[in-house]
Structure 1
């Protein structure tokens, strides 16, 4: 068996429709990056030698991987794909594989239908703790539109903006850099946050900035309905815990595929041209747009 290629796109599957949507998205991402797609299913069994159902369960798990590989090949001709059954707890398997992956991709598993976000879920643990970017798939093919990058002045948000710049360039679409001012009277501070953010990411060339007012999480969720991809950090400047409040809301309810940024620090600042801001009324996301 050939050795796995370095830095593959890794997608975790469980046999659900959400998992197969993630496979299709991951296959497109792998081809666009020139990477191998690695499909994994984590298999856990407490006492295999003492359980008569172990062999059947392992065969079923293998069939989940095989079906996912076939889905990737059908949906994206030319994708280089391997499938693997990996023994271990799902979150631990994904976090370990993420250390040498270009990206982890997971399905959303209908989070929006749940009354709360289960912090112990594999998806939440992976989004919060991975070493590489984590892309969460949302149903069918992504919408047309720009890459939406949410910034709040934190280092995590700047890392997300750098990732958004790369994703916009790869997709040949502009980046919409958005900040949501939650309290009235903080608009000027919001404009400064936008200015500092774009100045800190020299890779960002094709972009507009947008300042919204409202509740940050719901506002970004509405804006995501017209985005090809939404990119943000897993937590803000002053938020502890696994995920920040905005990230939790966007993870549950975003309408577009959502990329949670992890990785290296952002490079130093540069001067931001004043002409970068170009408000477009169609992007008000249902919230008030501050011009």
Structure 2
């Protein structure tokens, strides 16, 4: 079947095991979305031997995609340039960017200048960060905080749930005692703003936001959130930084045209089950 859209799934590779895990995930995503998979290795070397080594990285990644996901339409590409700039440019026409985590959880801090951080923070399309081999089980976990980016994330989580035929767990973290009522209102407004969300439950989680979402991600098929919240400045919000470093599931960072933040209004007509968990 011809590709109905020119927008491919783009995965960046560096020759690491994390990069190959990203290739396997990206291949599944490309097939399920009926998109071409474009494997890209970006380099700035000019020596012929270096170019040959870079070509081998791409060839190995293409072979990995074909072995792991029969039927995937895949091309490999070497691109001269700076990796973050190339990926951001490719993301303008991509449906999805996929990257490996390169063992971020083992680093003492999040390197702001890394290609992964720059891409997650500044991309035009959603960015999916692979987390190595993982069983395809559990719901889509969507973290909401009332910000426009979290509502965009919820819309993308709804699309992921519908495409995968799995439910969405819409979660809000209450960090301070006594914030439960406000938390429930945030959940109600969020689900009311995304009418395409149909198969879902809502849940209040309590504790520090980033570690709480990291723990919850261990039971999720995919975790979805915005790269920053309402009051965050800089490249990434504090919660996004924590989840990027330590999430147990593949993590989708929402990008695209934001949807308006809903006004305080009536409770949604759809009545999900709401639970308070610690």
Question: TM-score under structure 2 normalisation?
Answer: 0.95
Find the aligned partners of 2:213 and 2:158 in 1 and give their Cα distance: 18
Cα distance between partner residues in 2 of 1:136 and 1:276: 29
2:36 and 2:260 map into 1 onto residues whose CA distance is 28
Deviates more, 1:258-267 or 1:177-186: 258-267
- Could you tell me which of 136, 160, 179 is aligned with 1:167? 160
Q: What is the correspondence of 1:127-276 to structure 2 with a 5 Å cutoff?
A: 127-266=120-259, 272-273=268-269, 275-276=271-272
Q: Which whole-Å CA distance do the structure 1 matches of 2:90 and 2:8 have between them?
A: 9
Contact 1:201 1:268 in 2 (8 A): no
CA deviation profile, 1:138-197 (whole Å, cap 9, x unmatched): 010344100000000100000000000000011110000000011111111000000000
Displacement, 1:278? 4.1
**2:95 matched to which residue of 1?**
102
Shift of 1:268: 7.7
Q: Which residue of 2 aligns with 1:11?
A: 11
How big is each residue's C-alpha offset from its partner over 1:91-142, in whole Å with a ceiling of 9 and x where there is no partner? 0010000000000000000000000000000000000000000000001034
Q: Distance in 2 between matches of 1:218 and 1:189?
A: 21
Deviation at 1:252, TM superposition (A): 0.2
| 3-state SS of paired residue (1:276) | coil
Q: How much does 1:271 deviate?
A: 5.6
> Runs ≥4 in structure 1, deviation > 4 angstroms?
267-271
Partner SS for 1:180? strand
Give the superposed CA RMSD: 1.4
Distance in 2 between the 1:278 and 1:30 partners? 34
Aligned residues: 271
Q: Does structure 1 conserve the Cα–Cα contact (< 8 Å) formed by 2:169 and 2:200?
A: yes
Distance 1:204 1:125 in 2: 30
1:273 deviates by 3.0
C-alpha displacement of 1:272:
1.3
User: Is the 2:40–2:79 Cα contact (8 Å) retained in structure 1?
Assistant: yes
**Secondary structure, aligned partner of 1:275:** coil
Any unmatched runs of 5+ in structure 1? 49-53
Shift of 1:81: 0.1
Relative to structure 1, the CA distance from residue 274 to residue 103 in structure 2 (aligned partners, 3 Å threshold; closer, same or farther) is closer
Query: d(CA) in 2 for partners of 1:141 and 1:239?
Result: 31
Q: Distance in 2 between matches of 1:20 and 1:42?
A: 15
Return the alpha-carbon distance in structure 1 between the equivalents of residues 157 and 139 of structure 2: 10
Question: What's the CA shift for 1:38?
Answer: 0.1
Q: Which consecutive unaligned segments of at least 5 residues does structure 2 have?
A: none
Return the offset for 1:212: 1.0
